[in-house]
Amino acid sequence: GAGVSQSPSNKVTEKGKDVELRCDPISGHTALYWYRQSLGQGLEFLIYFQGNSAPDKSGLPSDRFSAERTGGSVSTLTIQRTQQEDSAVYLCASSLGSGTSNQPQHFGDGTRLSIL
C-alpha cells in the first residue's frame, strides 16, 4: 500500500509489560511523527524524526517511552512498564520533511493500546 502502515492494529497487555509499536512511513517521506489520542481527547505530540537526525524527544510523557528509527525509514515506539494511563490510540504520521512543519502530515490507521 501507499499509505503509512502501523502494526499491530490492536494491542491488549497487562500493566507492567513492555510494548513495541511499529510504523512504516510513506515511501520517500523523510519526516516521521508519533502522536497519541486518548478517548475523547485531541492528539498529543510525542516525538519527531527528520531523516537520520537525532529526534526531538521533548514530547515524550515519561522516561518509560522511547522511540527509534532505523535507516531513516521504519520507526518503533517502545513503552516500558506500561500503566493504565498509557491506554490510547497511538498514531504515526509521515511527511515530505524539509526541516519545517509546512508539509502536510499523513496518518496511519493507528495502534489501539489497552492496558489491563
Partner 1 sequence: QKEVEQNSGPLSVPEGAIASLNCTYSDRGSQSFFWYRQYSGKSPELIMFIYSNGDKEDGRFTAQLNKASQYVSLLIRDSQPSDSATYLCAVSGSQGNLIFGKGTKLSVKP
Q: How many C-beta atoms lie closer than 10 Å to residue 67's C-beta? A: 21
Question: Please, which residue, 76 or 107, has the CB nearer to partner 1?
Answer: 107
Residues ≥6 apart with Cβ < 8 Å to 62: none
Q: Which three cell numbers stand for residue 111?
A: 495502534
How many residues of this chain bind partner 1 (CB under 8 A)?
Answer: 26
Cα atoms in the 13 Å half-sphere on the side-chain side of 41: 12
**Which is closer to partner 1, CB of 9 or CB of 83?**
9
Alpha-carbon torsion (104, 105, 107, 113), positive or negative: negative
| Interface of this chain with partner 1, residues 45 to 64, rule: CB under 8 A | 45, 48, 50, 56, 58-59
Rounded CA separation 87/29 (Å):
28
Residue among 21, 37, 25, 11 at smallest CA distance from 78: 21
Which x/- pattern over 75-114 shows residues binding partner 1 (rule: CB under 8 A)?
A: --------------x-x-----x-xxxx-xxxxxxx----
Site map (CB under 8 A) of partner 1, residues 1-30, x = contact: ------------------------------
Least CB distance from residue 101 to partner 1, whole Å?
Answer: 4
State the residues that interact with partner 1 by CB under 8 A: 31, 33, 35, 41-43, 45, 48, 50, 56, 58-59, 89, 91, 97, 99-102, 104-110
